[in-house]
Amino acid sequence: MLRPITNTEPVDNEFFLQDGAVYFSGLYENGLLKGVLPEDFLCWHYWGKTSVACFMGGIRLRGADPASFRVLNFAYAMDKTAVYTTSGRVPGADLSTFEALDDGQNDSGAPQGYARDSRQVYFHNGDGRVKIIKGAEVSTFRSLGDTYFARDAKRIYAYGKPLPRVELTSWELLPCWYSRDAGRVYYLNREIRGVDRDSFTVCTPPDAPPLADHLARDRNHFYWNDEITEEVQWMEQLRGMT
């Protein structure tokens, strides 16, 4: 994935060239990578390396090995000594079997995703330490591709946590982080209590912004994410999305 730098204009969370030097376009300012020569620099989005150093954004990864450093996806990179995420190293990872299970980027563009090695399964949500998913069955575990949902032979997972009391054979993923099985409806990893499963409908417009709240309804209630709300408030929110 790493390739010679060619960007000459600042793009959020990307490296770029300016006046013969390499910069990183951060959230609040552009930072110079001191001592980095453009002809010695390879990058992919916010991962980068030279012949003597590795970078995540404008941060130099201490102890990283440039010769073996490679990018797995938006959320994970590794070398012969460690696995790296956008918030630090993955402690205890088995380097010989570690693999990313999706593209590592959620629908808002943030780094997020599942990974596994021969011993355990990992979830990284981009803003904290990588979570080890206890009890996950490594051999059958797979991400469902959106970086939020995953499953193994025993459980369904959302945002790195198992769905409570889910019935595997009837479970289906719905739009906007909702899902259901034969008897229950879920929002991410939380069961929505008192919902009428058969009449439940997701109402968030398909073109709603990625970070917008989610709306749904059944024959009895209106839902704002996983909370019951009044129809007037619900309709006002829906009109604001369209």
157-174 tens-digit pLDDT: 999 999 999 999 999 999
| Residue pLDDT, tens place only, 81-122 | 999 999 889 999 999 999 999 999 999 899 999 999 999 999
| Residue recorded with tokens 């593209």 | 103
How many CA within 13 A on the CB side of residue 145?
1
Q: Which DSSP helix (H) or strand (E) runs through 142?
A: strand 142-143
The rounded mean pLDDT for the chain is 95
Beta bridge partners of residue 32, listed in sequence order: 23
Q: What confidence tier does 209 reach under pLDDT thresholds 50, 70, 90?
A: confident
3-state secondary structure of 149: strand
Give residue for tokens 């024959």. 219
Per domain, the residue ranges of the chain are: 1-71, 77-162, 164-242
Coil, helix or strand at residue 45: coil
Q: List all residues 6 or more positions away from 209 whose beta carbon is below 8 Å from its beta carbon.
A: none
Taking 90 as the threshold, does the pLDDT of residue 127 lie above it?
Answer: no
Q: How far apart are the first and last CA of the chain?
A: 38
